[in-house]
Structure 1
Amino acid sequence: MRREHLQPTTLIAVSIVAGTLGWSGYVLLLPVAFAFPVLWALARTRRTAAAVSAGYFLAASRGLPQGVATYYSSDLWPGLLLWLSASTGFVIVHTVLWTKRKGARPCHYLLAAVLMAIPPFGITGWAHPITAAGVLFPGWGWWGLAAATAGLMGLVTRMWPAVAIVLAGFWIGSAATWDEPKLPKSWQGVDLEMGASLGRDTSIERHRDLIATMTDRASGGVRTIVLPESALGFWTPTVERFWVRALRGTDATIIAGAAVVDAGGYDNVLIAISGDGARLLYRERMPVPGSMWQPWRPLLGESGGARAHFFANPIVTVDDSRAAPLICYEQLIVWPILQSMVHDPDVVIAVGNGWWTKGTSIVAIQRASTQAWARLFDKPVILSFNT
């Protein structure tokens, strides 16, 4: 191999390793993602910066092709196409903003980080290195976010070795004292293993089974029980009456995922149910692009698809608590959790229906990402997933 090819090849290979390890689903490995800005800055050409960006992002999102194939019961080609398409925004932003001027790199990287955190580029802003802020600076809140941002900017300067050593020190200290956020005694998240049938089996028997499971859990001081995304299927007046009647005489409040459908499309939502009634608690801000959110449909005169409520309902009230809800895809991107944290919630609720991710690390990454954000702001997190 020629010497001029060795450096780019090495950078690309290391970026793939960084994306693979950083987004393996282990929360304490998230800081490995901080290697990306170093590799991006070490690129000598814009073409190498593009390849480094692609290698990192594609490695981080490597479970997507298999997951899409499972979801649509198809071969890998649609998943591969979506995988490559999803990387486009990340690669374009980091390629355009790469610069040979070393003095300008921190500001250019900061702009890239901001663009990948908010819409429109932030819609596919997976694998954002800033997610590791909660591992490096647990409990620091907004100061920790600022410190992590400063660290990312420092990693694209000539002083990156010194910055990396400082960040590694925080990482080691955090790993040595890491503990999971304590759950409120009155809350409980329930994981299910119902596969693709959850949300699709709308029979009365399925609802009875879920209610039996919930009433068994509503003991020992537990008053609020969280079920996964899509647990209730389509939310109808009949389903509402059935659940409300079943919960009468209990102090339990059930928070569960459902779909509210009308002529124009549907909302992916969370419903709060108790013996006193039910209410729509939360509308998902960012459904999965492509499979759920399909903004091109109205342009073609078609209806259908999930609606995106980009900056709506960042906080919801459950009993006496203020909660920050995150449904599935929202756990992989940046702005929903930060928008919620502006309002200083008491607890984070994270639900998902990940049956289609079997054999991948997608659900583990969702859990790790949510735990990192909750740890940054020192908030308890309630997790509920179906696999």
Structure 2
Amino acid sequence: MHREHIRPMLLVLAAIIVGIAGWSGHVLFLPIALAFPIVWSLARTRLAAAAVSAGYFLAASRGLPQGVAAFYSSDLWPGLLLWLCASSGFVLVHAALWTKRARVRPFRYLVAALLMAVPPFGVTGWAHPITAAGVLFPGWGWWGVIAATAGPLGLVTRMWPAVAIVLTGFWIGSAATWDEPKLPEAWRGVDLEFGASLGRDVSIERHRDLIATVKDRASGGALTIVLPESALGFWTPTVERLWVNALQGSDATVIAGATVVDAGGYDNVLIVISTGGAQILYRERMPVPGSMWQPWRPLLGQSGGARAHFFANPVVSISTTRIAALICYEQLIVWPVLQSMLEDPDLVVAVGNGWWTKGTSIVAIQRTSAEAWARLFAKPIVFSFNT
């Protein structure tokens, strides 16, 4: 085999290893993703850069085909198709902006990173290396975002070994002092193991089980209890009365996922419930493309699908507490959390319904990504997932 063929193959292999290791679901491994800019810059042709980008992205999102197959109770083909389609934006951007010119390369990579962080390409901007900022520069806030943006620019120059050594030093220092995420006082996140039945079982018995869980947490001193995405199922006046009445005589406030349906489609939301009543607290900005958000439906004269409230409600409030809410898919991409952090919330609430990801690392990646962002901005975080 010719030498010019071996080099691209080795670079693709390296990109795959970086994608698997960096996005393994262990938060301290996130900085490995910063090796992707190095591998990308070492490509000698645009085709090689495209192959490297595809190897990294597909490896990082490797759990998607299996998860989609579980969600739709089908074989792997729909998941494989979605997997390949989702990678196309990442590959297109990084292939189009690749260049042989060393002086221009940092600027080109910066443009690629920005495009993958915001819509429209940012809608599928998973596995963004900048997520490692929370591990490398915990507590730095926006200075950490700047540092994590500047670092990869140095990694695509000939000085990348020196830049890599500096970043590794920050990584080691952070790992040596890493501890569990801070939990805000009197807040409790509830993890459930109801599988696919959560949100689909709308029986009175299921609601009573959830109410009993909430009261149990409240008896332990929690004042605000968070339940996962879709925990309440369809939000109706009957469900509202049931929960408000059940909380009478309690000081507890419940935040729980639900679905609000109308003739045009539905919203994936968080509801806040207390003895004084209930209301929609947060509407998801970016539902899962394809399975939930289906923007082609109106073009075909069809209704249905989840609405995307792209830049709405970045921060919501309960009493005097300002919250950055992230539902499921929003934890995998960049712009929702950065948009929220522009308004300096008091804490982060990250919820999900990941029963369909069983056997994959998707939920672990969601949690580590949200944890890294919370750590970057020194915000307490509350998790609540169903598996």
Query: Which TM-score band applies after superposition, normalised by the shorter structure?
Result: over 0.9
Moved over 6 A (4+): none
Distance, in Å, in 2 between the alignment partners of 1:312 and 1:381 is 21
Which residue in 1 is equivalent to 2:351?
A: 351
Cα deviation, residue 368, structure 1: 0.3
Amino acid at match of 1:86: A
* Alignment of 1:23 onto 2:20: no
Cα distance in 2 between the residues matched to 1:168 and 1:301: 53
Instruction: String of CA shifts for 1:9-47, please: whole Å, max 9, x gaps.
Output: 110000000000000000000000001000000000000
What secondary structure, in the 3-state scheme, does the structure 1 residue paired with 2:349 have? strand
Match of 1:143 in 2: 143
Q: What is the aligned partner in structure 1 of residue 330 from structure 2?
A: 330
* Structure 1: runs of 5+ lacking an equivalent: none
Give the corresponding residue for 1:340.
340
Tell me what 1:195 maps to. Answer: 195
Q: Which residue of 2 aligns with 1:49?
A: 49
Unaligned runs of 5+ in 2: none
Is the CA contact 1:353–1:385 (under 8 Å) kept in the aligned structure 2? yes
Query: 1: CA distance between counterparts of 2:288 and 2:327?
Result: 10
Query: Given residue 336 of structure 2, which amino acid in structure 1 is its aligned partner?
Result: P
- 2:94 is matched by which residue type in structure 1? H
User: How far apart are 1:118 and its partner, in Å?
Assistant: 0.2
What residue is the counterpart of 1:304 in the other structure? 304
Partner amino acid, structure 2, of 1:16: I
Q: Distance in 2 between matches of 1:97 and 1:182?
A: 40
For residues 3 and 267 of structure 1, what CA distance do their matches in structure 2 show?
A: 54
What's the TM-score once normalised by structure 1's chain length? Answer: 0.99
**TM-score under structure 2 normalisation?**
0.99
- What are the within-5 Å matches in structure 2 for residues 1-387 of structure 1? 1-387=1-387
Contact 1:271 1:278 in 2 (8 A): yes
Classify the secondary structure of the residue corresponding to 1:218. helix
Q: Which moved more, 1:318-327 or 1:344-353?
A: 318-327
Q: Is the 8 A contact 1:269 1:282 kept in 2?
A: yes
SS in 1 for 2:219: coil
Give the root-mean-square deviation of aligned CA atoms: 0.6
CA distance in structure 2 between the aligned counterparts of 1:27 and 1:56, rounded to whole angstroms: 18
1:316 Cα deviation from its structure 2 partner: 0.6
Letter in 1 for 2:291: S
Q: CA shift at 1:220, angstroms? A: 3.7
CA offset digits 1:57-81 (Å, max 9, x no partner):
0000000000000000000001000
* SS of residue paired to 1:103: coil
Aligned partner letter, 2:294? Q
Count of aligned pairs between the two proteins: 387
Decide whether the 8 Å contact of 1:181 with 1:378 is kept in 2.
Answer: no
Q: Distance in 2 between matches of 1:208 and 1:255?
A: 16
Deviation (angstroms), 1:361: 0.2
**Identity %, equivalent residues:** 78
**Whole-Å Cα distance in 1 between the matches of residues 253 and 110 of structure 2?**
43
